DNA sequence: TCGATAGTTTAGCATTGGCTAACTTTGAGT
DNA sequence: ACTCAAAGTTAGCCAATGCTAAACTATCGA
């Protein structure tokens, strides 16, 4: 093995970074539509000030992000009005919530404490492929069955 | 439950976003020191062009990031020279590699395909708490033992 | 109806992480 | 010793995510 081949291996393996890098905007979009969906469900409306509290950012940041998500067709609102989701936004929120729920349940079933599971699920959910998600789901079911047998 | 308490719950739960948001710079640092450590181990040196291939970014991006990591005390190099890690950089690389290995092994043990496991581990590793990491490690050991019994 | 107050937006700034183009340095070969 | 290609840096651009300060709306009570 000459010195070059090691570097070539690195370069090939490095393709995995492509999907990780440059996806942050998408993650933000998912987090926001998920939060908007939650607020709409829980309180019937969604204002910038609510999202600012949820994400612990300033209202200005929310305002700017919402403007971007509106041009991306995920969110809809008029000046000084409450936010609502477009059809695309609802679709994305449903997918995100489902993924979040599966990851969270999996971690909790593994015995991770509630709080840690929340934080970890939040961070992990955007990086779990559908293949892994399915395995998580099956694993949760299997572990649940077992613990039921024991108790 | 009045409308306000729902929002307060959101706000409290929202603390979990604090750790997720604003940690991207740290993730980048971990990825870079990990890659530098790999290159040093595998080829004995580490040049910008190598890292550019690994991360699929331009050399300019690497150059800029290295400048930042040098001011942060993780990386050390002279103009036009190869990169090396400081003591702090090595410490961080070791931690990052360990976390990466545990997550990767866990996914593979769950039956995720090699390639998917690589990609998912890359994305997930920065969001797994030490509590979850320990559980992953134990779970991997348990599952390995079981499959050994069967085969 | 008219403030006061709460909520939203605009303006302007910083940081991170990307890029291309242009330039400099290094080093290998002739 | 010189040239030239490869590697690294500088300059200058952009988008996303964050902030504060200041301006603007909307709305609820008096």
pLDDT score for B6: 41
Provide mean pLDDT across the span A60-70: 98
pLDDT score for B147: 74
Helices B87-109 and B114-124, axial angle in degrees (round to 10): 140
> Rounded to the nearest 5°, which phi and psi values hold at B74?
-100, -30
pLDDT score for A4: 36
Min distance B64 CA to chain A CA atoms (Å) = 16
Provide mean pLDDT across the span A50-75: 97
What is the tens place of the pLDDT at every residue in A130-143? 999 999 999 999 99
**Burial of residue B44 (number of CB atoms within 10 Å: 0-12, 13-18, 19+):** exposed
Confidence of residue A146 (pLDDT cuts 50, 70, 90): confident
User: Which segment of A6-10, A85-89, B128-132 scores lowest on mean pLDDT?
Assistant: A6-10
Pick out residues 28-87 of chain A having their CB under 7 A from any atom of nucleic acid strand C. 47-49, 59-60, 63-64, 66-67, 77, 79-82
pLDDT score for A147: 74
pLDDT score for B18: 64
3-class SS letters over A69-119: HHHCCCEECCCCCCCEECHHHHHHHHHHHHHHHHHHHHHHHCCCCHHHHHH
B82, B86, B90, B91 alpha-carbon torsion, rounded to 10°: -160
- Name which residue leads in pLDDT, A147 or A30: A30
Considering all nucleic acid strands, name the nucleotide whose C1' atom is nearest to the C-alpha of residue A52: C7
Integer Cα distance of A50 and A83 in angstroms: 11
- Name the one residue in this structure whose structure tokens are 């572990």: A143
Structure tokens at A62: 């929310």
Provide mean pLDDT across the span A14-24: 66
- Give the pTM: 0.87
* DSSP secondary structure letter of residue B131: H
Tens digit of pLDDT at every position of chain B (151 positions):
333 334 444 444 455 676 556 578 889 999 999 999 999 999 999 999 999 999 999 999 999 999 999 999 999 999 999 999 999 999 999 999 999 999 999 999 999 999 999 999 999 999 999 999 999 999 999 999 877 666 5
Determine, for residues A21 and B57 on separate chains, whether the beta-carbon distance falls below 8 Å: yes
SS3 B119: helix
- Whether any strand D atom is under 7 angstroms from the Cβ of B47: the reply reads yes
Confidence of residue A8 (pLDDT cuts 50, 70, 90): very low
Report whether pLDDT(A76) > 60: yes
């Amino acid at each position: 093995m000459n010195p070059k081949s090691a570097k070539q291996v690195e370069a090939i393996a490095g393709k995995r970074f492509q999907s990780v890098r440059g996806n942050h905007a998408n993650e933000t979009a998912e987090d926001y539509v998920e939060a908007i969906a939650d607020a709409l469900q829980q309180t019937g409306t969604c204002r910038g000030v609510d999202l600012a509290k949820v994400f612990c950012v300033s209202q200005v940041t929310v305002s700017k992000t919402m403007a971007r998500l509106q041009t991306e067709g995920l969110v809809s609102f008029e000046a000084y009005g409450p936010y609502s989701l477009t059809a695309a936004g609802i679709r994305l929120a449903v997918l995100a919530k489902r993924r979040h729920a599966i990851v969270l349940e999996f971690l909790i079933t593994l015995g991770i404490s509630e709080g840690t599971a929340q934080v970890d699920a939040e961070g992990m959910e955007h990086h779990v492929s559908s293949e892994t998600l399915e395995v998580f789901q099956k694993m949760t079911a299997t572990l649940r069955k077992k613990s039921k047998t024991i108790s």
